[in-house]
């Protein structure tokens, strides 16, 4: 395809994968001092899927990618690039987890890169792929959000361990011409505020605090979160991003078929909906079954919507998220 005819960037297929092992709140309550009632009332979570110890983030990503490729009826040979968003890479530093995925998919030579933007990673990844396509560098890109958050959770910390699950989702993002101009990613807003970086992090293990130079406690290498600060940022940015996307594109609530937010906490979604005066039935929520799967949550939700027959070609949706960094972002997409 000539560069000058590549005017649309569309999502051609969506795939996902979650581990078979499903852990309910009641099962978790046997391990830490919590209860199903407390977890549901504070988060909306009822269960989460957890990967076995020998499974890596890249393994989850590969299964989601193969699902998307199969649903698209494309061949692996048609793919030009892999953009993988994750907060739980196979290895700290290098090699790139996207390169590990490339090798496992037997797609050697295909461009592969990681995106690190916390739970907003999938949205960042879509925009990276969109740029690569519109410049003519690529035509079909796998955008994957994949997480094994169980590997960085302190299972003795009841404030955080109840929140997270494992899984992966993959979108095939493709370039199109004038015939597809009505479809595709219409606008994306990305935002980052490094002042909140300490609000959601793993304190040690990177270049600023190498593990070789310190005595390591479990709290040093697992998720640390200031829930109050993250909540304030999330509610503000969810509402602000949705409003900006609607205003910039002259959209009303009636013009939007569905809003798919990052699935972190039902209270955050409800608070943002109240601020915007948007009914909750406009928001797709599946946190009860999957918990917070970080960069995987939005593509997993998109796959759920499509499987339920609630997402069809031509539907106008908004995807919106927030995460460590602190980062946030959203996109208007015509499916």
Structure tokens at 314: 């031509």
Question: For residues 72-102, b (16+ Cβ closer than 10 Å) or e, as one string?
Answer: bebeeeebbbbbbbbbbbbeeeeebbbbbbb
Give the burial class of 124: count Cβ atoms within 10 A of its Cβ; 0-12 exposed, 13-18 middle, 19 or more buried. Answer: buried
Nearest Cα neighbor of 290 from 301, 305, 280 is 301
Active site residues per annotation? 119, 262, 292
Helix (H) or strand (E) holding 158: helix 158-161
The residue assigned the tokens 């899927």 is 49
Cα torsion angle, 38, 40, 41, 43, sign: positive
Distances (CA, A) of 334 to 5, 313, 324: 19, 8, 27
Nearest Cα neighbor of 237 from 129, 322, 122, 113 is 322
The bridge status of strand 327-334 relative to strand 111-115 is unpaired
Report the distance separating Cα 27 and Cα 23, nearest Å: 6
Report the distance separating Cα 191 and Cα 67, nearest Å: 30
**Peptide bond preceding 95: is omega within 30 degrees of 0, i.e. cis?**
yes
């Amino acid at each position: 395809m000539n560069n000058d005819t590549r005017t649309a960037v569309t999502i051609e297929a969506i795939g996902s994968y979650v581990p078979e092992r499903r852990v309910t709140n009641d099962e978790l309550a046997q391990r830490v001092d919590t209860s199903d009632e407390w977890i549901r009332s504070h988060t909306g979570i009822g269960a989460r899927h957890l990967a076995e110890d020998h499974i890596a983030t890249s393994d989850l990503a590969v299964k989601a990618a193969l699902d998307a490729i199969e649903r698209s009826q494309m061949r692996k040979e048609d793919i030009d690039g892999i953009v993988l968003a994750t907060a739980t890479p196979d290895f700290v530093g290098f090699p790139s987890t996207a390169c590990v995925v490339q090798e496992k998919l037997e797609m050697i030579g295909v461009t592969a890169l990681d995106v690190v933007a916390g739970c907003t990673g999938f949205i960042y990844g879509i925009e990276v792929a969109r740029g690569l396509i519109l410049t003519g560098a690529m035509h079909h890109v796998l955008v994957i959000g994949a997480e094994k958050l169980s590997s960085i959770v302190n299972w003795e910390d009841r404030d955080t361990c109840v929140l997270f699950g494992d899984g992966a989702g993959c979108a095939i993002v493709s370039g199109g011409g004038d015939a597809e101009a009505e479809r595709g990613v219409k606008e994306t807003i990305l935002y980052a505020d490094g002042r909140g970086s300490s609000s959601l992090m793993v304190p040690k293990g990177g270049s600023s605090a190498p593990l070789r130079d310190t005595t390591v406690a479990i709290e040093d290498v697992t998720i640390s979160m200031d829930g109050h600060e993250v909540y304030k940022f999330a509610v503000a940015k969810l509402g602000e991003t949705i409003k900006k996307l609607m205003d910039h594109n002259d959209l009303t609530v009636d013009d939007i078929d569905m809003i798919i937010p990052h699935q972190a906490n039902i209270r955050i979604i409800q608070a943002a909906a109240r601020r915007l005066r948007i009914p909750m039935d406009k928001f797709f929520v599946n946190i009860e079954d999957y918990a917070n799967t970080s960069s995987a949550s939005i593509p997993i939700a998109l796959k759920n919507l499509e499987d339920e027959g609630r997402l069809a070609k031509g539907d106008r949706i908004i995807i919106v998220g927030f995460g460590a960094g602190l980062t946030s972002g959203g996109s208007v997409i015509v499916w």
